A and B are shown apart, each in its own frame.
Chain A
Amino acid sequence: MRRTLYLLAALWAAATAWAQEVPEATLDTLVTIDEVVVWGIRPFSEVIPAQRLSGVQLEALGSHNVADAIRYFAGIQLKDYGGVGGIKTVDMRSMGSNHMGVFYDGIQLGNAQNGQIDLGKFSLDNIDEIALYSGQRSDIFQPARDFGNAGTIYLKTKRPRFKDGRRDNLTATVRTGSFGLFNPSVRWEHRLADNLSFSLNGELTLANGKYHFRYRRRFSDGTPAWDTTAVRHNGDIQALRFEGAIFGSMNGGSWNAKLYYYDSERGIPGAIVNNVWLNSQRQWDRNFFAQGTFKRRISDHYETMFNAKYARDRMRYVNPDTTLLLLDNTFWQNEVYLSTANKFTILPDWDMNLAVDYKWNSLDATLDNFARPTRHTTLAALATQWAWHGLKAQASGLLTLINDRHSTMRGEEVVSHSNKWLTKFTPALFVSYQPFEAHDFNVRAFAKRIFRMPTFNDLYYTDIGNATLRPEFVTQYNVGLQYQRANARGFLAALKLTADAYYNRVTDKILAVPSGRGQYRWMMMNIGKVEIRGIDLTARAAFRLAKDVELDLNANYTYQRAEDMTDPADTGYGGTYRGQIAYVPWHSGSVIGQLTWRELGVNYSFIYVGERYHVSANIPANHEQPWYTHDMGAHYTFRWGRHSLKVAGEVNNVFNQQYDVILNYPMPGRNYRLTLTWSL
Chain B
Amino acid sequence: MNKMRYILCVLAALCVVLASCRDEDIIYIPDEVEVSRPEFTDVKGFFLLNEGNMNSNKCTLDYYDYTTGTYSRNIYPLFNPTVVMNLGDVGNDIQVYGSKIWAVINCSNKVTVMNRKLPTFIKDIDIPNCRYIRFHKGYAYVTSYAGPVQKVERKYQQQGYVAKIDTATLEVVGRCLVGYQPDELEIVDDMIYVANSGGYDLNNLETTISVIDIASFREVERIEIAPNLHRVRCDHRGVLWITSRGGLIETMPPCLVAYDTRKRRVVAHFDDFPVGDMWLDGDRLYTVGEAWNEELQEWSGMAFRIIDTATMTIASDCFITDGTDAQFRHPYGIAVNPVTKDILVTDAMDYITPGWLRCYGQDGVLKWQVRTGDIPAHILFD
Chain B residues in 8 Å Cβ range of A589: 17
Chain A-chain B contacts (Cβ-Cβ < 8 Å), number: 192
Complex: how many Å from CA A421 to CA B2? 65
CB distance A219 to B84 under 8 Å?
Answer: no
Distance to closest chain A CB from B282 (angstroms): 29
Complex: how many Å from CA A271 to CA B156? 23
Chain B residues in 8 Å Cβ range of A466: 297
Chain B at the A interface: SS class = loop
Complex: how many Å from CA A573 to CA B73? 12
Knowing A219-B27, A219-B81, A275-B126 touch, does A615 contact B352 (C-beta < 8 A)?
Answer: yes
- Size band of the interface chain A makes with B: 35 or more
- Tell me which residues from 388 to 425 in chain A have a Cβ below 8 Å from any Cβ of chain B: 410-411
Chain B residues in 8 Å Cβ range of A463: 202
Knowing A226-B82, A606-B18 touch, does A617 contact B154 (C-beta < 8 A)?
Answer: no
For residue A195, CB closer than 8 A to chain B, the reply is no
Complex: how many Å from CA A619 to CA B27? 15
Considering the complex, give the chain B residue whose CB is closest to the CB of A616: B353
Chain B residues in 8 Å Cβ range of A573: 31, 33, 354, 371
- Size band of the interface chain B makes with A: 35 or more
Complex: how many Å from CA A418 to CA B196? 35
CB distance A608 to B17 under 8 Å?
Answer: yes
Complex: how many Å from CA A240 to CA B218? 52
Pick the residue among B14, B24, B128 that contacts A322 (CB under 8 A). B128
Chain A residues in 8 Å Cβ range of B371: 572-574
CB distance A517 to B81 under 8 Å?
Answer: no
Chain A residues in 8 Å Cβ range of B31: 573, 620
Complex: how many Å from CA A181 to CA B154? 34
Complex: how many Å from CA A491 to CA B2? 9
Complex: how many Å from CA A529 to CA B29? 33
Chain A at the B interface: SS class = loop
Q: Mark B66-89, 1 if CB is under 8 A from A, else 0.
A: 000000011001000111111111
Complex: how many Å from CA A331 to CA B200? 20
Pick the residue among A220, A323, A621 that contacts B109 (CB under 8 A). A323
Complex: how many Å from CA A555 to CA B156? 52
CB distance B25 to A218 under 8 Å?
Answer: yes
For residue B46, CB closer than 8 A to chain A, the reply is no
Knowing A226-B83, A274-B89, A514-B351 touch, does A323 contact B146 (C-beta < 8 A)?
Answer: yes
For residue B45, CB closer than 8 A to chain A, the reply is no
CB distance A218 to B292 under 8 Å?
Answer: no
Chain B residues in 8 Å Cβ range of A630: 18
- Tell me which residues from 588 to 640 in chain A have a Cβ below 8 Å from any Cβ of chain B: 589, 591, 606, 608, 610, 614-617, 619-622, 625-628, 630
For residue A117, CB closer than 8 A to chain B, the reply is no
For residue A553, CB closer than 8 A to chain B, the reply is yes
Known interface pairs A322-B146, A543-B6, A606-B17; 12 further A-B residue pairs with C-beta atoms within 8 A, sorted by A's residue number: A217-B25, A218-B25, A219-B27, A220-B27, A275-B124, A323-B129, A491-B6, A514-B330, A518-B199, A518-B202, A617-B353, A619-B354
A-B contact pairs, 8 of them (CB 8 A): A220-B27, A272-B85, A274-B89, A328-B156, A368-B203, A553-B10, A625-B22, A663-B56
Q: Which residues of B approach A to under 8 Å, CB–CB?
A: 2-3, 6, 10, 13-14, 17-18, 20-29, 31, 33, 54-58, 60, 73-74, 77, 81-89, 105, 107-110, 124, 126, 128-129, 146, 149, 154-156, 158, 183, 197, 199-203, 228, 230, 245, 248-249, 274, 290-292, 296-297, 299, 327, 330, 348-354, 371, 373
5 closest A-B pairs by CB: A516-B292, A574-B354, A274-B88, A326-B156, A273-B89
